[in-house]
Structure 1
Amino acid sequence: TYPAIALPWGMNFWVPQTGKMGDGWAYTYDADKIRGFKQTHQPSPWINDYGQFAIMPVTGEAVFNQDQRASWFSHKAETATPYYYKVYLADHDVVTEIAPTERAAAFRFTFPENDHSYVVVDAFDKGSFVKVIPSENKIIGYTTKNSGGVPANFKNYFVLVFDKPFTYTAAVASGVIDTNKLEATDNHAGALIGFKTRKGEQVNVRVASSFISPEQAELNLKELGTDNIEQIAAKGRKVWNDVLGRIEVKDDDIDHLRTFYSCLYRSVLFPRSFYEIDAKGDVMHYSPYNGEVLPGYMFTDTGFWDTFRCLFPFLNLMYPSMNTKMQEGLVNTYKESGFLPEWASPGHRGCMVGNNSASIVADAYLKGLKGYDIETLWEAVKHGANAVHPKVGSTGRLGYEYYNKLGYVPYNVGINENAARTLEYAYDDWCIYQLGKALKKPKKEIEIFAKRAMNYKNLYDPEHKLMRGKNEDGTFQSPFNPLKWG
């Protein structure tokens, strides 16, 4: 986990970055240096991040390198809430504050008296672009950094607007700071801008981004309105109170309350809203599946193997209107990729086992959610039960041919986690059967799922009274012998 400075289900999160560029452990509590303040979309350190870039105030020497610009900090001089973050950067004598909206954020840097105060914008490696526009106190650019699951045209377009004119400008390409250039397109691009500051002078920066276009990033910047950072933080606090206040807890033990609300806070961060509002007020999204800009909702950054048991049933009970939008997003995912997601970040990712999109879809409908295209989702769950994604083996059902023919995924055919897959598929078939019954589908269409829902029995080993992998010929796999392992 990391301290996500964000709104519930927000498109963009911010995090103080203690880890190096590309490190999935972006913020660790035992670290004592901050390298930057990163816009992040990371759902887990193993899945890692995408569309990330960082901002960092520095004083003294104009430096860009992430180690050289890093500053010592203490948790005693750090305030972390979902809607407001503040920290003192000791090496630079700068206080950084952040308050987020769903797609934008307000930064405030309090500088010391200094002839050379700077702000670094780091668009990270793997292909990036940054341009400084001094006449508008503005920096624009894009990052393409990702960890997979994106189309070829993937970009996160960003815009930063300062309330103080620049007296120093430089573009950065491959670590070289060039004061004669205002823009850079490079594997690793960035920029530095600077100014003279009085003691305690506050410099405000308004930041937003878009997966759709630079113009949409400018539009997303308008989420901040004319509010100052205190007002944005106050509005964010109200949003969090409204969402967390859906549940009332009575307990005198502060540790219990901290544990509960910390977990509830994390439960309403993901799946992330991956949609934006265009100039006409319409809901649009950049498709992480086919690279097109299309109408409608899209959500991402959740692995159903991890979340079908608890998170989504919880959303159906406590935040049904949000999960209705998420179901609409699943319809769009199927239309744009031919499959429902199993682990999306932002597109299909190869991770974990099971076909638990069936559970996500069935649970929402059976809990009474309405107002979305359930018929398309019915076709989607049937398709996913009898196919596997051509490039991402964890999407659809790997080994479905064996499972449908033998009633299990065999141990000796080169498919890992075969027993786990069998048990998951059987449960998912039960979900599809229950959904089909609720939709009043013909018996001949759904009885196959009722039959396959019993496939879990095929792996029961009466000798050990446990489930156990089975070979293609029907014999159980060889038992584990610890003596072989010394």
Structure 2
Amino acid sequence: MKYSKRIILLLPLFFMLIKEASAQRKVDYTKLVDPFIGTGGHGHTYPGAVVPFGMVQLSPDTRLEGWDGSSGYYATDSLVYGFSHTHLSGTGVPDYCDILFMPTTGKPQLNNKDYRSPFQKKNEDASPGYYTTVLDKYQITAELTATTRVGIHRYSFPSTKEANIIIDLQHRDKVLDSWIEVVNDHEVRGFRRSSSWAKDQSVYFYAKFSKPFKTDGIASDDQLKEGEKKLQGKNIKMYMQFDNPGEVIAKVGISSVSAEGALKNLDAEVPDFDFKKVMRAAKDTWQKELAKIQVEGGAPVAMPVPQSSNMNYGGGFGGYGRPQPRTKTVDYARQKQTIFYTALYHCMLAPNIYNDVDGQYRGMDQQIHKAEGYNYYTVFSLWDTYRAEHPLLLLIDKKRSLDFIKSFMAMNEQGGLLPIWPLASNETYCMIGNHSIPVIVDAYAKGLRGFDAEKAFKMMKDAVNRNQFGLDSYRKNGLVLAEDENESVSKTLEYAYDDWCIAQMAKMLKKDQDYAEYIQRAQYWKNVYNKQTGYVQTRANGGWLSPFKPSDIDNNFTEGNAWQFSFFMPQDVNGLISMLGGKENLENKLDALFAASSVMTGRSLPDITGTIGQYVHGNEPSHHIAYLYNFTDDPYKTQYYLNKIMNMLYKAAPDGLAGNEDCGQMSAWYVMNALGFYNIAPGQNNFQIGIPIFDKATINLENGKKFTISSSGNATNSYYLQGMQLNKKPYNKLFLSYENIENGGDWDVFIGRLPNKLYMEDLEKPVSAITDNLIVVNPYLTASTKTFTKPITVTANSVQDSVQIYYTLDGSTPNLQSKVYTSPISISNTTTIKIIAAKNSMLSKVVTGTFTKIKEDVKADVPHKTALTSQTVN
């Protein structure tokens, strides 16, 4: 009887849980995705049809050139040239847009200015795996959907005996070679080899049509070649004409390997012409992927409503958070969920599968290889995506993350180098650093196995020990010298972080000697940090390059300036605190960053967008900065600024991204931070705690467990931590371990309107410190000029306390037996001064400065010039 009563009492709870679970299952997350977010402003996304990580990205092309045409589409355009099968999501360099199809009526026109058509936004729609628009010129409704390797077009023509489909292989970038062939009245195949950002890209296609075309024509240089069924050249186009077909479905398989490979892909993935079936399958695939993270609720935060598309909002700590008058009712929860799920959608647009259904792909050596037991991927924007995109995918998609690493290693084997920014079968060398390294190390540190770690470790060392992009200068001098390489400061900092990652891998593999070497190199950031100014600065001719202005954008930084990069040593935040003289000074420095004028001086770069003071959210080196407040005595400012960034710099509109989407990084940052945590230095297994913005979020882990985040107290203007529980027990740390999440559980966060400083004081602060094998920081020289007519004095100094400086004036390398520096050095003739710093018998790297005497009638101080390299930045 007792058990019966107990069961009766539990039944309401049981049915409530069943009802809640059922309701959760019925949520259609695809309806919360808006593919047009990011297609305006400088987001550079595309709205077309694609499945997660698909080889095909079938989307309209509305813009043929220009930075804001990088994806082929821009939100305010009103002309469409057609629908091509490959697109890049949010890059800063245009490429792809291969194999253009365009339906028309009337006499076939082959010049794109003749066949293009106006379209109206009111007739345009998109959702995951589907896109449609109406071509006003022809009154044709075009619909697109896709599988992994196949694009499917459905064209609804008006009544006409001249219904055409144009195939343009000349479209967009420079064509190196192409050919097209009519197989029969239902099938066409072809090839396009082009050069743009990817210098040598090959795409084969095979197309089948649901209805026979009555006639066709192939043209070279826009001149039709009568009777030709196959034609080769650099400007190949064709048309096929149908007789009042009503609806025509075209399915197009692509391949980097061969036309036969494209046909295999086509037949394997789309055996029939059922457009709706493919569309439903694409939606179901997206629903499954998006449901890996389920969010509920999402209260508003009172804030100024963003108005401008460039999102440049300045101002200090006190100017944000006051309620603003509203003139219309807004479903804030729905709006936030749309931003969140569109961001998650963007995270799954790249990298892209590159192998055919049989595993074959074109490698970095332009030869055909076969991926055995995994999928080979391309399009890795690693300078961006190692920060948040890859840590996010490691949480929710380990199988794919393993495939990424196997792809990296295959690229190394076939191209001789771990990837930097691989595109198709090319290494673009775009951006700086060697950031496949942190992706591999972070995965290994978090328990991902299934690849040869020893081989990967050797590849990492080979990558950072080559002589390219200033790496030789970095190894020799303990930093990249400006006279040796452009972007020297940024490269020094990013190389040091990569070296820290290698040190962590060495430690995990029990390679003590390697660990000692690379943990020292991980500290080279100290050699570009000027303690006197409190900024990283350019080193040249043995000293600091002057004049110096931290807001200057110049050739010594990568898409940024000293403000942003002075916080880029995430592997050693505690070392930065020591350099600054304490936590209070770090906090003051962060306050100054966010309160500064947003005006950048020096060069003008369109990438510098989404500013709050000198914080630049539109560019990735700033993405961890708000979390540095967690290392200070006022971590509530982390929560404050995260909310400011999320609410001011993300919105559900075409210009809803603060900068380039960068293949998922801009969106991955939002996803991670909306959940309430972020990995500031992948390779460290701790996630910094921020503030979750949803009432509830559930991460459905691949191991079958769930990590549930509940946020109590979400309301207007509430974004400060008041308390936390992990698995129903009080939690008193400002970080979560990877194991906390991976093991599943419940993280309850309590939020209030005011900072709870007493509560914050009791929380355990994160630690990011290098404590082993500490280096002696390079000393520096100071002189009024590097050329002189009358004797000058040169001083030597160090940012490090308790060091002794030794020097030589004869060109020899100084050591502990050299002359001790005690006072300024007077020189009257051309002299090369070399100095080292010593502490506890340890030596810094050698620092060299040359000071040149010139004749009095020569009125020229030799200007400093940085060496330019061919490395591209986006």
**TM > 0.5 between the two?**
yes
| CA shift for structure 1 position 150 | 5.0
Name structure 2 gaps, 5 residues minimum: 1-44, 299-332, 553-600, 603-874
Q: Which residue of 1 aligns with 2:496?
A: 426
Task: Give the TM-score of the pair, scaled to structure 1.
Answer: 0.91
Letter in 2 for 1:435: M
Q: Which residue of 1 aligns with 2:190?
A: 141
**Residues 181-260 of structure 1 correspond to what in structure 2 (within 5 A)?**
181-197=228-244, 201-222=246-267, 223-226=269-272, 228-251=274-297, 253-260=333-340
Letter in 1 for 2:250: V
Say if 2:544 is the partner of 1:476.
yes
The answer (yes or no) to whether the contact 1:58–1:69 under 8 Å persists in 2 is yes
Q: Which residue of 2 aligns with 1:13?
A: 57
| CA shift for structure 1 position 113 | 0.8
The answer (yes or no) to whether the contact 2:59–2:87 under 8 Å persists in 1 is no
Q: Which residue of 1 aligns with 2:40?
A: none
Superposed CA offset, 1:296-327 (max 9, x none)? 44211122111111111111111111101111
The answer (yes or no) to whether the contact 1:64–1:177 under 8 Å persists in 2 is no
**Residues 233-312 of structure 1 correspond to what in structure 2 (within 5 A)?**
233-251=279-297, 253-278=333-358, 283-296=359-372, 297-312=375-390
The answer (yes or no) to whether the contact 1:273–1:300 under 8 Å persists in 2 is yes
Whole-Å Cα distance in 2 between the matches of residues 21 and 177 of structure 1?
27
Q: Which residue of 2 aligns with 1:444?
A: 513
Say if 2:376 is the partner of 1:332.
no
Say if 2:250 is the partner of 1:170.
no
Query: Which of 132, 135, 146 is residue 89 of structure 1 equivalent to?
Result: 135
Task: Give the TM-score of the pair, scaled to structure 2.
Answer: 0.52
The answer (yes or no) to whether the contact 1:287–1:294 under 8 Å persists in 2 is no
Aligned residue for 2:344, secondary structure, equals helix
Q: 1:31 to 1:25 in 2, by over 3 A?
A: same
Query: Which of 121, 131, 144 is residue 98 of structure 1 equivalent to?
Result: 144
The answer (yes or no) to whether the contact 2:178–2:233 under 8 Å persists in 1 is yes
Letter in 1 for 2:113: D
Q: Which residue of 1 aligns with 2:654?
A: none
Q: Which residue of 2 aligns with 1:380?
A: 459
Aligned CA RMSD, in angstroms, stands at: 2.0
Whole-Å Cα distance in 2 between the matches of residues 179 and 160 of structure 1?
22
Say if 2:513 is the partner of 1:466.
no
Letter in 2 for 1:354: G
| CA shift for structure 1 position 42 | 2.5
Flag as ranges the 4+ runs of structure 1 deviating above 4 A: 481-485
Superposed CA offset, 1:150-197 (max 9, x none)? 55xx52111111121121210011112344322321111011000211
Q: Which residue of 2 aligns with 1:399?
A: 470
Letter in 2 for 1:271: P
Superposed CA offset, 1:335-393 (max 9, x none)? 111110111112210321112222111111111111112222111101111004xxxxx
Q: Which residue of 1 aligns with 2:123?
A: 77
Say if 2:420 is the partner of 1:342.
yes
| CA shift for structure 1 position 148 | 4.2
Higher Cα radius of gyration: 2
The answer (yes or no) to whether the contact 1:72–1:91 under 8 Å persists in 2 is yes
Query: Which of 524, 542, 547 is residue 455 of structure 1 equivalent to?
Result: 524
The answer (yes or no) to whether the contact 2:57–2:85 under 8 Å persists in 1 is yes
The answer (yes or no) to whether the contact 2:164–2:241 under 8 Å persists in 1 is yes
The answer (yes or no) to whether the contact 2:132–2:144 under 8 Å persists in 1 is yes
Whole-Å Cα distance in 2 between the matches of residues 159 and 309 of structure 1?
38
Q: Which residue of 1 aligns with 2:450?
A: 371
| CA shift for structure 1 position 65 | 1.0
Whole-Å Cα distance in 1 between the matches of residues 198 and 506 of structure 2?
31
The answer (yes or no) to whether the contact 1:131–1:140 under 8 Å persists in 2 is yes
Letter in 1 for 2:112: Q
Whole-Å Cα distance in 2 between the matches of residues 322 and 195 of structure 1?
42
Whole-Å Cα distance in 2 between the matches of residues 113 and 453 of structure 1?
69
Letter in 1 for 2:363: S
Say if 2:505 is the partner of 1:435.
yes
Q: 1:146 to 1:102 in 2, by over 3 A?
A: farther
The answer (yes or no) to whether the contact 2:503–2:514 under 8 Å persists in 1 is no
| CA shift for structure 1 position 39 | 0.9
Task: Count the aligned residue pairs.
Answer: 465
Superposed CA offset, 1:199-255 (max 9, x none)? xx1111111111111111110002012361111011111110111110011125111
The answer (yes or no) to whether the contact 2:58–2:145 under 8 Å persists in 1 is no
Q: Which residue of 1 aligns with 2:107?
A: 61
The answer (yes or no) to whether the contact 2:95–2:197 under 8 Å persists in 1 is no
Instruction: Calculate percent identity across the aligned residue pairs.
Output: 27
Q: Which residue of 2 aligns with 1:394?
A: none
| CA shift for structure 1 position 25 | 4.7
Aligned residue for 2:532, secondary structure, equals coil
The answer (yes or no) to whether the contact 1:47–1:147 under 8 Å persists in 2 is no
Letter in 2 for 1:139: V
Whole-Å Cα distance in 2 between the matches of residues 427 and 364 of structure 1?
16
Superposed CA offset, 1:258-281 (max 9, x none)? 111111111111111111222xxx
Letter in 1 for 2:529: Y
Whole-Å Cα distance in 2 between the matches of residues 15 and 288 of structure 1?
26
Q: 1:472 to 1:364 in 2, by over 3 A?
A: farther
| CA shift for structure 1 position 119 | 0.5
